[in-house]
Amino acid sequence: MNRLGVTALGAVLALTGCSVGGSDGSGGSTGPTATSTPTVPATADLSFPLDAYQATAEQQTTLARAQGVLTSRCMARLGFTYRAPEQPATSVSESNARVFGLVDQDTAARYGYLNPEIANAPVRAATEPLSEAEQLALSGEDDLDPADAPTNLEEAEKSGGSDVTFNGERVPVGGCVRESYLKLYARKANEIDILFVFNLKSEAQSGARKDSRVRAVDKRWSSCMSKAGYKLTEPANAVRELGLTESNLSSSRAVTAAKADVACKQRVDFVEVRYAVTTIYQRRLIEENAQALSLAKEQLESRLRLAAELT
């Protein structure tokens, strides 16, 4: 994106005709206010306040590998040789690259609306199918009621496992996959849910989408697209409103529309405003959930230390 990286929040809001506090058109505030004027970096490098409480893409790969090691150890205890699927190495995190959808002109010109991560996903090597016994050890009994599954490792250890045994050992309730998950992500009853930060991010995104500053930019984008020959109302619904399907997301028609889409987003400072407003909502949620987030960060650091030992 050529125009990102230089626009301050105050300038963006002035361009879109919105006050810093947000407005519903009648003088009332519709969202939290800004306290600083951050500049916006390239979209793939965007950093949000809540990112500090969540594993990076590289750390997620490490955690996945660690869980694979724990799963393999559990399977070995039950008498099975099991190798978890290989996790690809991740050197650079671009987890926020499409946080606001398609916004990069080069990507639009090459892929249309198709996500490059999907287009370039590595083909996984074929693996030998598991036997019925191996599958039972790995995933547990098919008829297990989720309500009966232990929610943390302490609870699982007290239960002693399921009634199924292999190699003289009881299969964990939910199988080795469940046991490895609990050992890494839910060792004690007071562990913060691993989706806690994700859910806060979703809440911030939802609030931002309803904010008058974002709604105003969406309307400006829609007007711009109309002038380009496309009757679209919502940036997030562009694919559906264009009538595109998974099979033609990168067709010539899709590419042409995608390029116009991104051009209009650049023209109305779509990313800059979305980034600024979403950041404001995230900061408010951090203040409201400071204690839980502090605990979540401590627990993340603890499981990363464990993952480093395992891998």
List pLDDT tens digits, range 265-304: 999 999 999 999 999 999 999 999 999 999 999 999 999 9
Smallest CA-to-CA distance from 82 within 125, 124, 139, 134 is with: 134
Coil, helix or strand at residue 69 = helix
pLDDT confidence band for 39 (50 / 70 / 90): very low
Token couple for 54:
């969540």
Provide DSSP, 192-245: PPTTHHHHHHHHHHHHHHHSHHHHHHHHHHHHHHHHTT---S-GGGHHHHTT--
Residue carrying structure tokens 């809440």: 203
What is the phi-psi region of residue 238: left when phi exceeds 0, alpha when psi lies from -120 to 50, beta otherwise?
alpha
Smallest CA-to-CA distance from 98 within 5, 1, 12 is with: 1
Domains of the chain, by residue range, sit at 9-310
Judged against a pLDDT cut of 70, whether residue 169 lies above it is answered with yes
Q: Rounded to the nearest 10 degrees, how much is the dihedral formed by the CA atoms of 141, 145, 147, 152?
A: 10
pLDDT confidence band for 43 (50 / 70 / 90): low
Greater confidence (154 vs 6) lies with 154
- pLDDT above 70 covers a percentage of the chain that reads 81
Q: Collect all residues with Cβ–Cβ distance below 8 Å to 175 and sequence separation of at least 6.
A: 136, 137, 138, 139, 140
Per-residue pLDDT of 172-185, as tens digits, reads: 999 999 999 999 99
pLDDT confidence band for 85 (50 / 70 / 90): confident
CA 161, CA 141: separation in Å to the nearest integer?
12
pLDDT confidence band for 89 (50 / 70 / 90): low
Q: What is the mean pLDDT of residues 183-189?
A: 93
Contact 81, 131 (CB under 8 A): no
Coil, helix or strand at residue 98 = coil
Side-chain-side CA neighbours of residue 161 (13 Å): 17
Give the global pTM: 0.82
Provide DSSP, 76-97: HHTT----PPPPPP--S--TTT
Contact 159, 151 (CB under 8 A): no
Judged against a pLDDT cut of 50, whether residue 46 lies above it is answered with yes
